[in-house]
């Protein structure tokens, strides 16, 4: 699953529409403190279904919406789009009709957030499963937050196991089993 594009609009400090092309190979993001590097990673995690405000360094989910500055007023919505290359048709059923899969998540003040996959409305759970099966996603250890290395070193065996399950690509199955047990 290769990400080829990330578009942001009104997400945290990215008030103006921003379109990032992600080329093959290693991508580096550099810039001065506070320029939005961590916000970019949070946008990626958010569009993949992150629902914990704390993981987004906020108190509530609406905190991802541009909050305004001295010179610019706050926005009423935030939108992030992630384009995935699907030429090899590796996406799971339901996402697999086209050469690219575009996932869009949008949050509107007082109206919550909604997801689309190639313009069709989908549930948060569908998006989370799509990425869980691909061993990536909002909780993937492939996305390492600032300060997380130290947390990893001090991790308890249970959280280490979760990391190994992600790496083995079985966390999607695990989630489904858990849901089946709840039914
Ligand atoms: P560092 O190098 O220090 O890690 P960084 O490049 O990772 O910095 P970020 O943490 O991504 O920087 O960006 C922080 C900036 O984003 C701050 O200026 C903060 O005010 C701004 N910001 C965060 N949330 C919002 C929001 N909802 N609306 C407007 N600006 C926001
Ligand atoms: Mg940072």
Q: Provide ipTM, 2 decimals.
A: 0.98
Give me ligand 1 centre to Cα 103, in Å: 24
d(C-alpha 161, C-alpha 45), whole Å = 21
Q: Does the C-beta of 33 come closer than 6 Å to ligand 1? A: yes
**Cα dihedral 71, 28, 6, 152 sign:** negative
Q: How many CA atoms lie within 13 A of 149 on its CB side?
A: 1
Give me ligand 1 centre to Cα 102, in Å: 26
Give the number of the ligand closest to the Cα of residue 32: 1
Q: Whose CA is nearest to atom 15 of ligand 1?
A: 34
Residue-wise pLDDT tens for the chain (183 aa)?
899 999 999 999 999 999 999 999 999 999 999 999 999 999 999 999 999 898 889 999 999 999 999 999 999 999 999 999 999 988 888 888 899 999 999 999 999 999 999 999 999 999 988 888 766 677 776 777 777 777 777 888 888 887 777 767 677 777 778 888 887
Q: What is the CA radius of gyration of the chain?
A: 17
pTM of structure: 0.84
Give me ligand 1 centre to Cα 39, in Å: 6
Give me ligand 2 centre to Cα 107, in Å: 23
Q: Does the C-beta of 53 come closer than 6 Å to ligand 1? A: no
Domains and CATH numbers, the chain: 2-182 (3.40.50.300)
Q: Whose CA is nearest to atom 16 of ligand 1?
A: 13
């Amino acid at each position: 699953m290769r990400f080829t594009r990330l578009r942001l609009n009104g997400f945290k400090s990215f008030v103006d529409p921003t379109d990032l092309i992600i080329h093959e190979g290693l991508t580096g993001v550099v810039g001065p403190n506070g320029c939005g590097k961590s916000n970019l990673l949070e946008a990626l995690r958010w569009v993949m279904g992150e629902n914990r405000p704390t993981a987004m360094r906020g108190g509530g989910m609406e905190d991802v919406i541009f909050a305004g500055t001295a010179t610019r007023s706050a926005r009423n919505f935030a939108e992030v789009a992630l384009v995935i290359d699907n030429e090899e048709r590796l996406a799971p059923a339901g996402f697999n009709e086209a050469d690219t899969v575009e996932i869009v998540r949008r949050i509107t003040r007082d109206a919550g957030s909604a997801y689309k996959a190639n313009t069709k409305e989908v549930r948060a759970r569908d998006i989370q499963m799509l990425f869980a099966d691909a061993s990536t996603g909002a909780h993937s250890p492939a996305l390492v937050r600032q300060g997380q290395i130290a947390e990893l070193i001090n991790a308890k065996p249970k959280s280490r196991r979760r990391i190994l399950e992600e790496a083995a690509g079985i966390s999607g199955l695990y989630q489904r089993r858990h849901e089946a047990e709840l039914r």
